[in-house]
Amino acid sequence: MLYLTLFILSLILTYMIRLYADKKSILDIPNDRSSHITPTPRGGGVGIVILFFASVIYLRDSIDSSLFYALLCAIPIATISLIDDILTISSKIRILVQSISSILALYALGGVNSIDFIYFELDGYWINILALLSIIWLTNLYNFLDGIDGYATTQAITVGLGIFLFFDISLGLVIVSISLGFLLFNWHRASIFMGDVGSATLGFIFAIFVFYYINSGDDGDILISMVLLSLFWFDATVTLIRRLANREKLTQAHKKHAYQRLVQSGWSHDKVVIYALLFNLIFIFLLYFIPNIWIVFAINIISLFIILKLIDKKRGFN
């Protein structure tokens, strides 16, 4: 009943926010980086944020205290991102707030003691520096990948499903429910966008889940998280590396992410999203039924490289 209620509330809130944003001209105006051509209301992620944190408080007794307080550290990010959606503020201020929130979240989690990965145990104080940078990176890359209708929303749905299935936490289904409600307004052609308030906050929340489960000491948890988020971190990271190799100005707007180049090659927004959704569901299926997580992880990475090469042939990286 809780999840049905959240779905309905998400529908209502998104509809109300869309009307308000349209009335107050809080619009996403197309620019060089945009994949849409008409001004569209933004900030719809406010509904996702409100319902998520209301659920966190409602379910507090069933949430580990360290995870509870770490998730609350996303509130400053949601706040500064909402302000940015409305007024546009300096990226330096946003990074500063993200850094402070990330430090507080890591403190709430008790820090990261070690990471078991590829049969090696990584430890030392520098692990927390790596964790800090990773949280900030995931926060921002989720925002970078929110560039076509329904893409970031469907990613949230599949990651939320994975959180529930593999980590047995009900907040995963909370994310699924509220994202589904928003998706009905965000599907191509979207009548409202998530905005930074939604995408940056979701990226931060997912990063917190990753490092919360890393502290369990099971290297499989890292691999599961990487597979669930693979479409986003792989595309964003490879694109960044390729732009660095080309000596491009990283602060300059671009449309070189794999999903953007697919749209430029002639694919519609919904076609890209449907294929991405199928990709994610296939790997959730594999994670669920194949005991050896390393096999799934290897298949995932190989598949991503093959897909990238196919996209390069359709639309070059230029």
pLDDT tens digits, 177-225 = 999 999 999 998 889 999 999 999 999 999 999 999 887 655 567 889 9
Q: Which residues pair with 40 in a beta bridge?
A: 28
The predicted structure's pLDDT at residue 281: 97
The model's confidence at residue 122, banded by pLDDT at 50, 70 and 90, is: low
pLDDT of 260-316, one tens digit each?
A: 999 999 999 999 999 999 999 999 999 999 999 999 999 999 999 999 999 999 988
The predicted structure's pLDDT at residue 114: 66
For the question of whether the overall pTM of this predicted structure is more than 0.95, the answer is no
Question: Taking each helix axis from N to C terminus, what angle separates 91-108 and 126-144, rounded to the nearest 10 degrees?
Answer: 130
Residue 38 clears pLDDT 70, i.e. is over it: yes
Domain-wise residue ranges, the chain? 2-314
Per-chain mean pLDDT for the chain: 90
Alpha helices by DSSP H, the chain: 2-23, 45-58, 65-72, 74-87, 91-108, 126-144, 151-167, 171-186, 195-214, 219-228, 230-245, 258-264, 269-289, 293-314
Cα 260 to Cα 19: distance, rounded to the nearest angstrom: 28
Cα 67 to Cα 93: distance, rounded to the nearest angstrom: 26
Cα 37 to Cα 29: distance, rounded to the nearest angstrom: 8
- Beta carbons within 10 angstroms of residue 150's beta carbon: 26
